[in-house]
Amino acid sequence: MDPTPSEIVHTAIDALLTVTAKAADDLRTFHDTVARARIGALPPLPRATVVTTERIIEHLSKVEQELREVLVALGLREPPG
């Protein structure tokens, strides 16, 4: 028996909730680690790392926009910001 459209949506939402919870935990850990590192003296940052940092920022901005699109598609109010 094929899943109903409602079941497909609920499965997708459950998967999205799982992955965003994990990502939020990972990002919080990364944030806290980098914030602590900023307190001490940092070695020079290689250009490749700067480029990677810029790419991460671009990807996170795209993810944020796509998450907003999911909220709108679900008929939920888009969070401010």
Model pLDDT for residues 14-67, shown as the tens digit of each residue: 999 999 999 999 999 999 998 888 777 777 888 898 899 999 999 999 999 999
What pLDDT score was predicted for residue 43?
78
Domain residue ranges of the chain, discontinuous segments joined by +: 1-42, 44-81
Question: Which among 1, 12, 31 is positioned nearest to 74, based on CA atoms?
Answer: 12
Q: In whole angstroms, what is the distance from residue 14 CA to residue 57 CA?
A: 26
DSSP state, 41? -
pLDDT digits (tens, 9 = 90+) for 60-81: 999 999 999 999 998 888 666 6
Centroid of chain to Cα 36? 21
- Rounded Cα distance between 72 and 66, Å, is 10
Rounded Cα distance, 11 and 44, in Å: 45
Amino acid 79 reads: P
More confident residue, 45 or 2: 2
